[in-house]
Amino acid sequence: MQRREFLRFCAGGSAGAVLSLTGVSIATTAAAEPLRLRIQKARYTINGAVTQDMVSLSQDQPPPVLRMKQHEPFVVHVTNDLEDYTAMHWHGIRVPNKMDGVPYLTQWPIARKETWRYAFTPEDAGTYWYHPHCMTMEQMARGLTGVLIVEERESVGFDTETIVNLRDFRLGEDSQFIKFFSPRMAARSGTLGTVMTANWKQNPVYEHQTGALVRLRLVATDVTRIYKLFATGEHGKVIAIDGHPVRDTVAWPTDVAPHIMGPGQRIELAIKMPDREGAEVVITHQSGQAPRPLVTLRSVGAPLKRNLKDLHTLPANPVPEPDLKSAEVVEFVFGWTPQSMKPNNGYCGSLGYTFWSIDRKPWPGDAADGTKPLAELKLGRSYILRLRNESPNAHPIHLHGLTFRPIRSNQRNLPSNWTDTALLLKNETIDIALVASNPGDWAFHCHVIEHQKTGLAGFIRVS
Ligand code: C2O
Ligand code: CU
Ligand code: CU
C-alpha cells in the first residue's frame, strides 16, 4: 500500500483522527534518519565500585531498549569502536538472511571503525533482544546484550510497562571482570556469573500506581544462567513467551513451580499491582540456597481500580502453521564431542577448546572452510525437527530466522507456544515443528555461549 492510500484508508475509518496520526508517524519513521549505534567501551557501577572495560552502546549506560513497530521498516547503522571485530544479531526476529548478523555465514565481521547497515521489517510483535555474534563470549560477558521490543499496531490496554534485562556479570571482589569461563565448567553446565543483575542493577525497585495494570517483560540475556523464576504477591497472568503471545496457557510461576527460562528466552507477565500502597510484587530466582530477588515492583499513590479483564488479548503473530501430516522428520543429537580439535574462529574469537557437538561433529569454527549445513530444508515445506540431548546438561537450542513450536517431549508436557529456543533438559528429546518459510543459512546452536563456542553450533539451510 502506498503512503497516500494508507492515509486515505485511515481517514475513512471510524477512528479516523487517531489512525491518521498513526499514518503520519509511519511516514515520518520510514523517511527518518537510520538509528546509529556505536559499540564501544563502557564503565558502570554494578557492585559498589566502577567496573571498567565493559562493552555497551554508550560509555556509561547499559545497552538501550530498541523499539520498533510491527510491519514498519527499521534501519540501523552499527559502528564498531572496539579493537576487536564484531557483528550484530537480532535474536528471535525473522529477518532476511543477509541481516542476521552471523559472521562468515551471512556477513563479514565488522572491523574497527567500520559501519554495517542492517535493515529489516519485523513481521512479529513482541519481546526480542540483540547481541553480537562475533567475539560473542567476550562482548556479551562485558555487557553487550540489549532488549528489542516490537510494538503491536494497537494498544493492548496496559497502564505502564517495565522491561527487565536479566543477566550476570563475572566480577571479582574489586568489581573488575574475572575470567569469563573455566574449561572445566564449559565442558559441563557452563560458568555462572558472580553478580546477578536486572538492568545492570541488583534488585532494582520500579514504582507503579497502586492497582495499575503493568506489562512486565523479562529477558534472559545471560551467557549461561538458566533462571527459575517466580512472582510473589498479587497475581497476574503469563501473556507471552519468547516473543509470541501464548496459545497454550502457561501457569503463573510460583515458588514451588517456577518458570524455567534458559539463556535467550523471554517471558511477559500481565500484573495487576497490589491494591494497597507500598505493597510489592517481587520477581525471584529460585536457587539451591536462598531464593534471590531479581526485580521488585511497588505500588505507590492513589489506587487505580483496574482489572486484569480490562486487557485485550495480544494479537497472534503471522507465523505459518506447520502441516504435521506431511512434515518430514529430521533428527539432531546434541552431546559431548568424540574428537578433540583446535577450533578455527578467524576474527571472531575462540575459547580454544572443543567439548561439544551436534550429530557427533563439533563445529570447527566460524571461519572454517567447507562447513556444510546440518540439514537442508525445502522452502515452504513443513518439518519436524527431533532434538535429542544425550548429555546430562541442559541446552537451550536456538534456531535463527525461523519460528517453531514444540509438539512433544519424552519427559514432560510442554506448552506448544511459538519460540526460537527449545530448552532441552538432561537426556530430553523434544520434537519441534516449523514451516521452512525463510530462505537462507540459519545458525543453529546452544545459547550457553561456552557450549556454542566449544562445538555445539552449526547451521541449517533453507532453499
Ligand atoms: Cu541469540 Cu545465534 O543467537
Ligand atoms: Cu538468534
Ligand atoms: Cu548447551
Answer yes or no: do 255 and 378 share one domain: no
Decide: residue 303, CB within 10 A, 0-12 exposed, 13-18 middle, 19+ buried.
Answer: middle
Is there a single domain that holds both residue 65 and residue 144? Answer: yes
Ligand 1 atom closest to Cα of residue 445: 2
Which residue's CA is the nearest one to ligand 1's atom 1?
91
Cα-to-centroid distance, 193 and ligand 3 (Å): 16
For ligand 1, what atom is nearest to the CA of residue 91?
A: 1
Residue pLDDT, tens place only, 257-281: 999 999 999 999 999 999 999 999 9
Q: Which three cell numbers stand for residue 82?
A: 572496539
Number of H helices, E strands in the chain: 5, 29
Instruction: Give the ligand with the smallest distance to the CA of 264.
Output: 1
User: Cα(108) to centroid of ligand 3, in Å?
Assistant: 26
Around ligand 1, the residues with Cβ closer than 6 Å are 89, 91, 131, 133, 264, 398, 400, 443, 445, 447
Ligand nearest to the CA of residue 145, numbered in listed order: 1
Q: Which ligand is nearest to the CA of 356?
A: 3
What does the pLDDT read at residue 10?
A: 29
Residue 1's pLDDT is: 28
If one counts the domains in the chain, the total is 3
94 vs 100: CA distance, rounded Å? 9
Domain membership flag for residue 79:
yes
Same domain, 276 and 359: no
Asked if 37 and 86 count as a contact pair (C-beta separation under 8 A), the reply is: no
Grid cell in block for residue 371: 562447513
Cell of 153: 499496531
Q: Which of 92, 6, 75 is nearest to 319 (CA)?
A: 92
In a shared domain, residues 220 and 288: yes
Helical (H) or strand (E) element with 186: helix 183-186
pLDDT value, residue 427 = 97
Which residue's alpha carbon is at the smallest distance from atom 2 of ligand 1? 443
- The span from the CA of 55 to the CA of 77, in Å, is 17
Domain shared by 292 and 176, yes or no? yes
Identify which of 400, 331, 453, 419 has the alpha carbon closest to the alpha carbon of residue 105: 400
Q: What pLDDT score does 289 carry?
A: 78
CATH of the domain at 381: 2.60.40.420
Residue (of 150, 85, 92, 143) closest to 121 by Cα position: 150
- Residue 332 and residue 296 in one domain: no
Please tell me whether the overall predicted TM-score, pTM, comes out greater than 0.85 for this model: yes
Residue 235's pLDDT is what?
Answer: 81
Atom of ligand 1 nearest to the CA of 92: 1
Residues of the chain with pLDDT under 70: 1-32, 234
Q: Please check whether residue 248 lies inside any domain of the structure.
A: yes
Say whether both 288 and 332 belong to one domain.
Answer: no
Q: pLDDT value at position 305?
A: 86
Residues 118 and 189 both lie in one domain? no
Q: Is residue 400 part of a domain?
A: yes
The answer on 106 and 65 residing in a single domain is yes
Domain membership of residue 316 (yes or no) is no
User: For residue 133, which atom of ligand 1 is closest to its CA?
Assistant: 2
Name residues with Cβ closer than 5 Å to ligand 3, which is an ion: 395, 446, 448, 451
Q: Indicate if 146 and 209 belong to the same structural domain.
A: no
Which residues are within 5 Å of ligand 2 (an ion), measured at CB?
91, 400
Which atom of ligand 1 is closest in space to residue 264's alpha carbon? 1
Is residue 209 located within the same domain as residue 273? Answer: yes
- Gap from CA of 225 to ligand 3 centroid (Å): 11
Is 7 a domain residue?
A: yes
| 293, 426: one domain | no
Q: How far is CA 352 from CA 60, 95, 433, 453, 454, in A?
A: 31, 31, 34, 9, 8
Q: Quick one: pLDDT at residue 80?
A: 98
| Ligand 1, atom 3: closest residue by C-alpha | 91
| Domain that residue 267 falls in | 160-310
Q: Which of 310, 336, 360 is the last residue of a domain?
A: 310
At 17 the pLDDT is 25
Residue 318: name the closest of 432, 68, 430, 150 by CA.
150
